[in-house]
Amino acid sequence: MDQSSILDLDVAALADKLRARELSPLEVTEAYLDRIAATEPRINAYITVTGERAREAARQAEAEIAAGRWRGPFHGVPVGLKDLCYTNGILTTGGSKVLANFVPDYDATVWARLREAGAVLLGKLNLHEFACGGTSNNAHFGPVRNPYDPARIPGGSSGGSAAAVAARSNLATIGTDTRGSIRQPAALCGCVGLKPTYGRVSRYGVVVLSYTLDHIGPITRTVRDAALMLNVIAGHDPNDASSSRVPVPDYTRFLGTDLKGVRIAVMRDLADWYEPDIERSFDESLKLLASLGAALEEVSIPSFKLGVQVSGLVARPEMLDYHQDWLLARPQDYSDNVRPLIEGAMVIPAVSYIRAQRARALMIAESCRVLEAHDVLVTPMCMTTAPLVGQDFVRSPAGAEVPYLPTFVAFTGPFDCTGQPAISVPSGLSSAGLPIAIQIAGRSFDEARVLRVAEAFERARGPLPPPKL
Amino acid sequence: MAELTPETVMRVAREFFDYPMSPETAAAVAKVADAMLTDARRLSALGLEGVEPPFSYATMVAEAERLRRRDPSIT
């Protein structure tokens, strides 16, 4: 099999070939390492490439599979980790100068589980510094670029995780999502990004942005791959006090069905305006969902309209608490676009934080009421397609200039506040050839239904054309 | 509502956090913080009467168990 055909395989297809020994893990690893070398000068998705360790892990996987000890669908499969995830003996920078030389002596649970499943780590992925932003324009390690148009951002903060999957320099990656940092980069790069329910995936060993809003999840090429990855990383972890004991099903078991009888709540009032291509794509997506048998109904969740504000008021003080010692000792090691965000929390009254946490309870209550009568909620993912690198403001169709961050947190932030699972699935390309996506959210711990609807939609829509790199 | 001044930011940072700030930095931080305070004021529109902060005792106990496992010197 030639290199390009190897890179075309998704996790599910690659796992079949590895298990049948039609491909060797080493052959696959070499194909991806070559691809990294070819794409990195343009994309900059990686902070650290772990080539030799990857080859060693691939050789071990090869020997185990040959001996009949197949560990499961990730055995010998290349993966990547956002560089917030601790990796024993491997540099973990958080995308920051503060941790520029930090080498942990233990693994984040999410990596420990993937490693146990036989996954091959290709490297640590670039991100917005300390996950504090949505562009991945990293002042210390350089900007990550969007494979569909390298002049544009890949989104963030998990920009490297999404860009690597889109550029085919990795197959499946881990991102983190506090106000949208898995789903928005996945949307801008034409990937699938799943933010599981809060507590579904352990946060242990992942650099904190916000204790009560951080979620860990997969960024993949397909919904099935996201389900396969969630199967590996989900589950209770005594090292994370917020980790849930709710049983973990086989998430792939619910895929491959139609949507007859599925009740979908549609929410489009989280924004005042959309780029025309986004609006068109969303309307087409709704028609497609209806054609698959789903019953659609427009709804509104009033408290969600303050999701940007509530998520910010929770995240910033928690961020200050985590960073305070570093900030006081080494303020110069934070970049000028991240430091003021942390410093700003110094003057926020405690009552604002508590009030924002109370608002989250109201948001959950209102959202649960809608999801009593519906199986999932569907929204657009963003108001715009990917802006240019360095562009912090976007322009509405009426000509108003607005800050970029709220134009996606308006959709993603509410589900970080409620902790409910939400997935970003590609819905098409804009007239400029940039990816567009929809968001599908569900009840807490009902990832299965979210994945089922997402996979049916993805199957009916067909894959996006890959970027021309 | 009056805007947060750079002088206030500098004073709070110095007195509460022992964190010196230049006037230029304080001006940038004041903008960020002022936007957050405006956000905070908007929450009153939600009608949060009767909603308690959802801090979880179960999570606190789980964290305490984790700390005891990690550090046997905690009796």
**Short-list A214, A168, A157, A216, CA closest to A190:** A168
Distance, in Å, from the CA atom of A304 to the CA atom of A106, rounded to the nearest integer, reads 38
**Short-list A60, A314, A145, A97, CA closest to B36:** A314
B32: distance to nearest CA of chain A, Å? 6
Is pLDDT larger for residue A411 or for residue B71? A411
Instruction: With beta carbons less than 8 A apart as the criterion, state whether A423 and A223 touch.
Output: yes
**Short-list A256, A183, A162, CA closest to A451:** A256
Q: Quick check: B43 contacting A, CB < 8 Å?
A: yes
A442 membership: H or E segment, kind and range: strand A435-442
Percent of chain A with pLDDT over 70: 100
Q: What would the pLDDT profile of A24-42 be if each residue is shown by its tens digit?
A: 999 999 999 999 999 999 9
Mean pLDDT, rounded, for A87-99: 98
Distance, in Å, from the CA atom of A369 to the CA atom of B50, rounded to the nearest integer, reads 18
Residue corresponding to tokens 């309209």 = A305
Q: Quick check: B55 contacting A, CB < 8 Å?
A: yes
State the pLDDT confidence band at B53, using cuts at 50, 70 and 90: confident
Residues of A annotated as catalytic are: 82, 157, 181
Q: What would the pLDDT profile of A137-194 be if each residue is shown by its tens digit?
A: 999 999 999 999 999 999 999 999 999 999 999 999 999 999 999 999 999 999 999 9
- pLDDT, residue B3, reads 79
Mean pLDDT, rounded, for A342-351: 94
Q: Give the residue numbers in A contacting B (CB under 8 Å), as ranges.
A: 238-243, 303, 306, 308-310, 312-313, 316, 324, 327-328, 331, 340-341, 343-349, 352, 354-362
A309: distance to nearest CA of chain B, Å? 5
Mean pLDDT, rounded, for A438-443: 98
- pLDDT, residue B75, reads 64
Say yes or no for a CB contact (<8 Å) between B40 and A356: yes
Distance, in Å, from the CA atom of A301 to the CA atom of A370, rounded to the nearest integer, reads 8
Distance, in Å, from the CA atom of A262 to the CA atom of A292, rounded to the nearest integer, reads 9
The ipTM is 0.90
SS3 content of chain A, % helix, strand, coil (to 5): 40, 15, 40
A306 interaction partners in chain B (CB closer than 8 Å)? 42-43, 45-46
Instruction: With beta carbons less than 8 A apart as the criterion, state whether A395 and A401 touch.
Output: yes
Say yes or no for a CB contact (<8 Å) between B36 and A354: no
Nearest by CB: B36 against A324, A348, A360: A348
Q: Tokens representing A306?
A: 């303050």
Q: Hey, how many other C-beta atoms are within 10 angstroms of the C-beta on A297?
A: 11
How far does CA A159 lie from the centroid of its chain?
A: 9
User: Nearest 5°: CA angle at A186, between A180 and A190?
Assistant: 150
Distance, in Å, from the CA atom of B40 to the CA atom of A151, rounded to the nearest integer, reads 36
Q: Tokens representing B47?
A: 């009608």
Distance, in Å, from the CA atom of B69 to the CA atom of A241, rounded to the nearest integer, reads 12
A446 CB burial (10 A radius; 0-12, 13-18, 19+)? middle
If you count residue pairs, one on A and one on B, with CB atoms under 8 Å apart, how many are there?
108
B62 CB burial (10 A radius; 0-12, 13-18, 19+)? middle
Q: Is it the case that residue A345 has pLDDT exceeding 80?
A: yes
Q: Tokens representing A179?
A: 């106000």
A327 interaction partners in chain B (CB closer than 8 Å)? 19
What's the count of helices (H) and strands (E) in chain B, helices before strands? 3, 0
Q: Is it the case that residue A246 has pLDDT exceeding 80?
A: yes
Mean pLDDT, rounded, for A89-94: 98
Can you spell out the DSSP letters for A249-268? --GGGG-S---TT-EEEE--
**b vs e for A331-347, b when ≥16 Cβ sit within 10 Å of the residue's Cβ?**
beebbebbbbbbbbbbb
Q: Is it the case that residue B2 has pLDDT exceeding 80?
A: no
Q: What would the pLDDT profile of A400-427 be if each residue is shown by its tens digit?
A: 999 999 999 999 999 999 999 999 999 9
Percent of chain A with pLDDT over 90: 99
- DSSP code, position A99: T
Q: Quick check: B66 contacting A, CB < 8 Å?
A: yes
Contact partners, residue A274, CB within 8 Å, separation at least 6: A282, A380, A383, A384
Q: Is it the case that residue B54 has pLDDT exceeding 90?
A: no
pTM score of the predicted model: 0.96
Q: Is it the case that residue A352 has pLDDT exceeding 90?
A: yes
Contact partners, residue A369, CB within 8 Å, separation at least 6: none
A312 interaction partners in chain B (CB closer than 8 Å)? 36, 39
Q: How close are the terminal C-alpha atoms of chain A, in Å?
A: 21
Q: Where are the extended beta strands (E) located within A13-152?
A: 46-49, 78-82, 120-125, 137-138, 142-143
Nearest by CB: A316 against B16, B36, B52: B36
State the pLDDT confidence band at A84, using cuts at 50, 70 and 90: very high
What SS3 class is residue A334? coil
A223 membership: H or E segment, kind and range: helix A223-233
State the pLDDT confidence band at B1, using cuts at 50, 70 and 90: low
Q: Is it the case that residue B10 has pLDDT exceeding 80?
A: yes
B46: distance to nearest CA of chain A, Å? 7
Considering chain A, what is the average pLDDT of its residues?
Answer: 97
- pLDDT, residue A306, reads 96
- pLDDT, residue A322, reads 97
How far does CA A329 lie from the centroid of its chain?
A: 31
A232 membership: H or E segment, kind and range: helix A223-233
Distance, in Å, from the CA atom of A195 to the CA atom of A186, rounded to the nearest integer, reads 11
Q: Quick check: B51 contacting A, CB < 8 Å?
A: yes
Q: Where are the extended beta strands (E) located within A112-269?
A: 120-125, 137-138, 142-143, 172-177, 192-195, 215-220, 263-266
Q: Quick check: B27 contacting A, CB < 8 Å?
A: no
Say yes or no for a CB contact (<8 Å) between B60 and A239: no
